Amino acid sequence: MFISCIFSFQQCDENEWLWFYDTVYGNCYRFNTIQTKNQLSQVKKSYHTGKYNGLMLELYVGVSDAREYLSLTTGASIFINDNLIKPLVGEGFELMPGTNVNIILERKKNKQMARPYSECVNNLDSIDSFDSEYYRKVLRSNLTYRQIDCFYAYIQSEVYKRCKCDEIASNLMLENNNPCETLEEQLCSFQTYQEITASEYKTRIKEECPLECDSVSYSFTKSESRYPSASYAKEISKNDALKHLFNNRSNVSLEEYQTEITESASISWDGLVGSIGGTLGLFMGINSVYSKLTEMIDYY
């Protein structure tokens, strides 16, 4: 439940949040994606760092009494990444209720040189860019290509071969429309997942799952304080609908710093040829001088 939402001093619009279902957390919401409620939208940008220039949320993170026995913990799970990337199961970090949390992000964008300078492959942005069924499955799922999603495509295909059902703990589309729902299917899926991830499967299939050259990573610094203050609690307690929510609320703010790392060749092909030519010319010149000196010594 959103109590308040502010981005760069402006109120957030309800339509800017996109709902999706997560197999672990259930109902989840994404903010600032290019698609919101079945329509395209502009990505919001902030051109200044600082606590008040980013996203500020006030959340109710409790669960109803009827569902409380299903939850081991209370709080919010937060995942932060680029706009087009959906979280994988287990990614992100937890926020406890009754706290004011300030999260400082450092965003690093890494651009590597493609083969032969590294192991990565350029231009992995269309379904025909690379000849691999696992690669194509990632693109068919409307995801920005990442090698890790390609590995999940392999796992999903192996689960279907052995269990005749689709493993659902990933962002990939269920191409066979048969999710692993029964207890027998879930046990088979879990055992297959354990067996594969305990092996060196990434080494075996890495030629079918190319490494992307452009990647984005985030590091986080988090600080917390008690929330709400006594005076704010008195003020907000005047709202009867929110009285019982006090101990199950989190106030979250985000600020961001960015670093971009671009890899470039230390020497180009033209530069290499020129360097070889220059060095060869130097050696020939030295050899010529040496020959003349030898002739002069012989003459004397």
The model's pTM = 0.68
Q: Where are the beta strands (DSSP E) in the chain?
A: 2-7, 10-11, 17-22, 26-31, 35-36, 39-40, 55-60, 76-78, 93-95, 99-111, 120-121, 211-212, 214-226, 249-262
Domain boundaries, the chain: 1-107+219-257, 123-212
DSSP output for 91-120: -SEEE-SSEEEEEEEEEEEEE---TTSSSE
Q: What is the pLDDT of residues 92-149, one digit of tens each?
A: 788 888 888 888 888 888 889 998 889 999 999 999 999 999 999 999 988 889 999 9
pLDDT tier for residue 78 given thresholds of 50, 70 and 90: confident
Q: What is the pLDDT of residues 137-152, one digit of tens each?
A: 999 988 889 999 999 9
Q: Are 138 and 150 in contact (CB under 8 A)?
A: yes
* CATH 3.80.30.20, domain 1-107+219-257, yes or no: no
Nearest of 217, 233, 250 to residue 112 by alpha carbon = 217
Q: For residue 292, what are its two tokens? A: 């003349």
Whether the pLDDT of residue 261 is over 60: the answer is no
Higher pLDDT, 227 or 182: 182
pLDDT tier for residue 184 given thresholds of 50, 70 and 90: very high
Pairing of strands 99-111, 214-226: antiparallel
Cβ-in-10-Å burial (0-12, 13-18, 19+) of 59 comes to buried
Nearest of 151, 190, 150, 147 to residue 167 by alpha carbon = 190
Mean pLDDT of 47-75: 73
Q: What is the pLDDT of residues 57-69, one digit of tens each?
A: 888 776 655 555 5
Mean pLDDT of 206-218: 90
pLDDT tier for residue 47 given thresholds of 50, 70 and 90: confident
CA torsion through residues 80, 81, 85, 90, sign = negative
